[in-house]
Structure 1
Amino acid sequence: MNGRQMSSDNASEQTHVNHALLQFILILLSGLGPTSFQIFLPSVPSLVKYFETTPATANLTVSLSMISFALACLVYGRLADRLGRRTILLLGMAILIIGSFICLSAQSIEAVIFGRIIQPAGGAAGVIAARIIVMDIYHSEKAANVMSKLVASMMISPLLGVPLGGLLTDNFGWRSNFILIGAIAVIVFIIILFSLPETRKAQTGVEAGKSNLFHDYGQLAKNATFLGNAFQFGFAQSAFMAFMAAAPIVLTQTFQLSASGASLLLLMVSGSAIIGNLSASRLPQSLSLRRRLLLGSIIGFIFSLLALTLSLINIWSIPALVIPTMVFSIFYGITSPAAQAGAIGTIKPLAGTAAGLSMFISMLLASVATQFIAEFNSGTPLVITFSLALLALLSLIAAIVTLKKSE
């Protein structure tokens, strides 16, 4: 079964148990990469003390790992189209294991930084390949429903990973995080090896000869449907992530909340996005991806505009800031799976390349938006709500473009 191709036609003939097992594996793969990143965050202060280094140097274990993850998405997307999905998953898990071992055995901060560059480069394979496999097997509306579970897995991972990482660091030291991630990666490698089928055969020599990196990216760059879906997801995710990054300053400075109090409110916002993801998996398949995208983007923009309006008329309160953002987050959670399914499924032979490019676009937009808000964040709700509304508007425009070009 490992080497067999599973098309969308014969996939429907698989038993419920096979589909349940497959979705479990995909959810595990989708969450492992983000978990390997988030679980380490509480350990960063420990590195400063352990290696007697500066916080800026220790923070390179975070910033460089994000760059590594984004670039790896481009590479894996391309390789998935040329070599097959299962192959890059095995490669990615092997790289994740190697990166974890480098960090575990590191005797200098430079070695930890190097290992942290390698580690997310492996974990990115699961995030990309899981989405491509969904598009290989399921038709578009069903794919969006399954995709919502993968997105929920990525969102739940930080909620669990950060406190788990803190617990491990406090009780067993910072190296224990890498023992856990490395062990999980070994188990996942074995599961892939024996239980995961190849959903797309590697290209033949003739097919591979016809494929050109710049030609493939050019096809996607000229495809309005791909761009609309990719940028809708990118702008919506940027709005969500930028709010999550900037809100602690507003909540602690303007509203005088403690760090734990601010964390609780951010947990509510994150939970709203997860509710949206899980709700998306329950939407009727008769509701097309384009309609999901447009409806969710409209409602999300309305509530982001409400948050901005309340700030402009000087209604500065926790409910005025958090409640509209929670509603926005719900519909961000609903539209994200539809946008990803729409982007990846635009040109079937380039599903892997599309998955990598769309993920790269979203992470690039999110990093720019987060840094922009950080530069101008005065601690008041104005900057954060203006950014939320602007990014939500851009997300809505992208959804409208997608709908018009698809008609």
Structure 2
Amino acid sequence: MDHAAKPAQKTPAIILLMTMTLLGVFPLDVILPSFPALAERFQTSSADIALSVSLFAIGLSFSLLVVGPLSDSLGRKKLLLAGMSVAIAGAAGCIMASEYPWFLFFRVIQAIGCGCFVLSQALVQDLFVGKEQERLRIALVTASGIFISFSPLLGTWLQEQLGWQGSFEVFIAIGLLVILKACLLLENTSGTASSRHRNILAAYWLVCSEPRFVGYWLISALAFACHFSFIVISPIIFMEQLQLSPYQYALALLMYGAAYVLGGFAAGVMNRHMQASTQIITGLLLIALSGLLMLFLLQSSMSAITVLLPMIVCTAGTTITRPVATSRAMGLFPQNAGTSASAGNMIIFTCGGLISAFINLSASNLIMALGLCFLVLSASALTLNSLVNRHNQRACA
């Protein structure tokens, strides 16, 4: 597959990865302030629009089934260019859709194309080595969080200037930039001899038959599901239940970005001084603490502060947990980075989509559902971490 990047190529590679990370917030986060406008446009409810985001995540997870293994055999560049082209076509279709079913259809097309974003994990594995990989993954998760926290503000501005179509139009523009950057930076590769002769099912069996691989990705997925569930239902909590305007909602979520910065800084320090298992446990305990805080604060009157405070704690825990769990999973099969990234991200987005859809059904008490969800998911992830540690000990024995 691709060779480690030369020093002069590392900065352009990081810019490409950051641009892909920025582009990833548009289908899921920049669109959030447009929920009321989309509901009015397609004569449906905001809850239906929220479910469309969950559907997007589930559709994305199925796209990931083939993107990674194909990139191991055909090369990252070809799959990235093809995926971005499909995603751009889906976004254009969303703009032109006149009815809600057609909007959902083109959202799924966009999701299928966005499966190529999983290649960012494979590119990190291909172009960087050793501790560089974990540091870059921490930086990407932190950057993603910062982009997410600013995305509602950007979405509000785009809604005011361009209408709900604005987020899709900017997605198309940045997508074209990614295509150009990939054409200039990435080499045309066709994979290793072993990956070319291994079919998709065999590739998945190779990685998924390793319990530690599945365990680490499930830990990352459960941590992500906490974050994703809040993001999906946050417009309902803030704009419908708390009656905030889209602009006030965007400003409230700016505080969310502080958690990503704090979590990213803490993850960087822990990465230098702590073992991976200790980092994972620390992050998961923070998620559990956020669940307890959410249930405790529920006893008082609900406000933006009582909702955001536990979410800031949860997000810091997620930012600490996910990069190290992901790096440990990806490091088990470095020669099958595409398949590894696809399998893992399929687990992540399936968990995120299904759990957020389940919480969305608890419309009468979303905060209690979130708090209980955080406690159950963190406890499950802690159990998985314990099991993975046992397998690590057996492998070293």
On whether the aligned pair clears a TM of 0.5, the verdict is: yes
Matching of residue 170 in structure 1 with residue 160 in structure 2 = yes
Matches within 5 A, 1:210-229: 211-229=198-216
SS at match of 2:365: coil
Counterparts of 1:105 and 1:321, CA distance in 2:
36
Question: C-alpha separation between the residues in 2 aligned to 1:380 and 1:61?
Answer: 18
Q: Is the 8 A contact 1:244 1:266 kept in 2?
A: no
Give the match's secondary structure for 1:379. Answer: helix
Counterpart residue number, 2:105: 114
CA offsets 1:140-167 (integer angstroms, 9 cap, x no match): 5331210122223333333333332332
Deviations 1:74-132 (CA, angstroms, capped at 9, x unpaired): 22122222211122111112112222333344455554433322223222312x11111
Q: For residue 212 of structure 1, report the CA deviation from its aligned partner.
A: 3.1
Distance 1:40 1:329, change over 3 A: closer
Q: What CA distance in whole angstroms lies between the structure 2 residues aligned with 1:232 and 1:219?
A: 20
Aligned counterparts of 2:278 and 2:59: Cα–Cα separation in 1: 34
State how far apart, in whole Å, the 1-side matches of 2:86 and 2:230 are. Answer: 32
CA distance in 1, matches of 2:236, 2:346: 27
Q: Aligned runs of 1:47-66 on 2, under 5 Å?
A: 47=38, 49-50=40-41, 53-55=43-45, 59=49, 62-66=53-57
* Distance change (3 Å), C-alpha of 1:153 and 1:118: farther
Letter in 1 for 2:325: A
Q: Equivalent residue for 2:128?
A: 138
**Superimposed CA distance per residue, residues 289-346 of structure 1 (whole angstroms, 9 cap, x where no aligned partner):** 3342233334543x2464278469x577867765454333212211111111122222
Q: 1:288 to 1:197 in 2, by over 3 A?
A: farther
> How many angstroms apart in 2 are the aligned matches of 1:36 and 1:131?
19
One-letter amino acid matched to 2:143: S
Matches within 5 A, 1:318-357: 322-357=308-343
Would you say 1:154 and 2:150 are equivalent positions?
no
After superposing on structure 2, the runs of 4+ consecutive aligned residues of structure 1 that deviate more than 6 Å are 247-253, 315-321
Return the letter of the residue paired with 2:359.
I
2:64 corresponds to 1:73? yes
Correspondence for 1:402: 388
Is the alpha carbon distance of 1:91 and 1:132 closer, same or farther for their aligned partners in structure 2, counting shifts above 3 Å?
A: same
Q: Who is 2:82 aligned against?
A: 91
The 10-residue stretch of structure 1 (101-110 or 316-325) with the greater mean CA deviation from structure 2: 316-325
Q: Which runs of 5+ in 2 are unaligned?
A: none
Name the CA distance, whole Å, in 1 between partners of 2:77 and 2:30: 26
Contact 1:344 1:352 in 2 (8 A): no
* d(CA) in 2 for partners of 1:225, 1:399: 9
Change (3 A) 1:251 1:347: same
Question: Equivalent residue for 2:9?
Answer: 18
Is the contact made by 2:88 and 2:172 (CA closer than 8 Å) also made in structure 1? yes
Structure showing greater radius of gyration is 1
How far has the Cα of 1:381 moved from its partner?
5.4
CA contact 2:72–2:337 (8 Å) conserved in 1: yes
Cα contact 1:377–1:383 (8 A) shared by 2: no
Residue deviations 1:179-209 (CA, integer Å, cap 9, x gap):
32222211211111012346x64244x6422
CA contact (8 A) 1:237 1:332 kept: yes
Amino acid at match of 2:207: L
- Normalising by structure 2, we get a TM-score of 0.83
2: distance between equivalents of 1:39 and 1:162? 5
C-alpha distance in structure 2 between counterparts of 1:380 and 1:41, whole Å: 17
Q: Distance in 1 between matches of 2:94 and 2:35?
A: 13
Amino acid at match of 2:107: R
Distance change >3 Å, CA 151–CA 196, structure 1 → 2: same
State the one-letter code of the partner of 1:162: P
TM-score (norm 1): 0.81
- Identity %, equivalent residues: 23
Residue aligning to 1:101: 92
The two structures, once aligned, show a CA RMSD in angstroms of 3.4
